[in-house]
Amino acid sequence: MKPKVYIAERIPKHVEAYIGEHAEYEKWDEQGKIPRDVLLEKVKNKQGLLNFGAQIDEELLTHAPHLKVVSNISVGYDNFDVQAMKAHNVIGTNTPYVLDDTVADLIFGLMLAVSRRICELDTYVKAGRWEKEMGRAHFGLDVHHATVGIIGMGRIGEAVAKRAKFGFDMNVLYCNRNRKKEAEQTFGAVYCSLDELLQASDFIVLMTPLTPETYHLIGPHEFSLMKNTAIFINASRGQTVDEQALIQALRQGKIFGAGIDTFTQEPIEKDNQLLALPNVVTLPHIGSATLKTRVNMAMTAAQNLVKGLHGETPPNIVEELK
């Protein structure tokens, strides 16, 4: 008998067909996120769950006594209550590697957009305010030959370092739990403390996972160390940054600008003060959102799910759940 699966996210037809070859499945086929009460009902008799960001916690696991595998269509897994999953003997998987270059591209897009004030000046032109030659007040900053500091030198961090070094002749600093000798040899990256990185960098790129240790990793103290010409980029998780401290740093000119793809509350609240600031570019958490990458992520998640349900070891088990 085939295992039973619930697909809680809309996925491409060929990925759905692949799952159907190996499991019986039901799926969420409506626009928007699946309501929590519907998800709890649907997982009651399922062994597998294909999921994007729904919380996998004690409540859900209690509703799903037969659950064996939860496969995230994302590299992040802060939606996993790891201790609860361990207690219920449920493994969790994610989709690393697939999106590294796509997210790194977006990070550089943010770096360029903020430093050259692309979004701000686009609005300026469209509003009919361009009536004479642009003066110093509208000048931006160079990316080439600047110094980028990468906080979290994982796979995406290394993809950013590659673009920085070989595409823009940048100096690369990094802060990480462990030294990455290969990154140092390949990209000339220099390992340093967080404080040293913040003080020396023209661009600060935050790419750490969200853990109890990284919650509000960047706050008032960290912004106070940055140059007033620094540009801060967050494409990790919103909770890694004290958002009020970021707002104050931008308002008071402690930093030049910011490019933000993730927020404390998502979707962002309409009264969030970041939305009123001209020196910040705000994106709706689209780091991996290209057609090709999202299709590849869905297939990787499906393969993880199928392997786990059929007694094989999925290649992308979250480390804490091995």
The predicted-structure confidence for 197-234, as pLDDT tens digits, reads as follows: 999 999 999 999 888 999 999 999 999 999 999 999 99
Residue 212 sits in the same domain as residue 270: yes
Report residue 76 as tokens. 């992040």
Q: Are residues 14 and 85 in the same domain?
A: yes
- The confidence score (pLDDT) of residue 262 equals 96
So what's the pLDDT on residue 249?
98
What is the pLDDT, as a whole number, of residue 2? 94
Ordered alpha helix ranges (H), the chain: 13-22, 36-42, 58-63, 82-87, 100-115, 118-126, 155-168, 181-187, 194-200, 220-225, 243-251, 291-309
Q: Mark whether 171 and 296 lie in a shared domain.
A: no
Do 245 and 306 belong together in one domain?
no
Residue 248 makes CB contacts below 8 A (sequence gap 6+) with 220, 223, 254
Q: Which residues of the chain have pLDDT under 70?
A: none
Domain count, the chain: 2
Query: d(Cα 256, Cα 243) in Å, to the nearest integer?
Result: 16
Distance CA 49, CA 26 (A): 10
Claim to verify: residue 246 and residue 126 sit in the same structural domain: yes
Question: What's the pLDDT at 95?
Answer: 96
Active site members: 237, 266, 285
Q: Which residue range(s) make up the domain with 137?
A: 100-282
Task: Please tell me the predicted confidence (pLDDT) of residue 53.
Answer: 87
Residue appearing with tokens 């770096």: 111
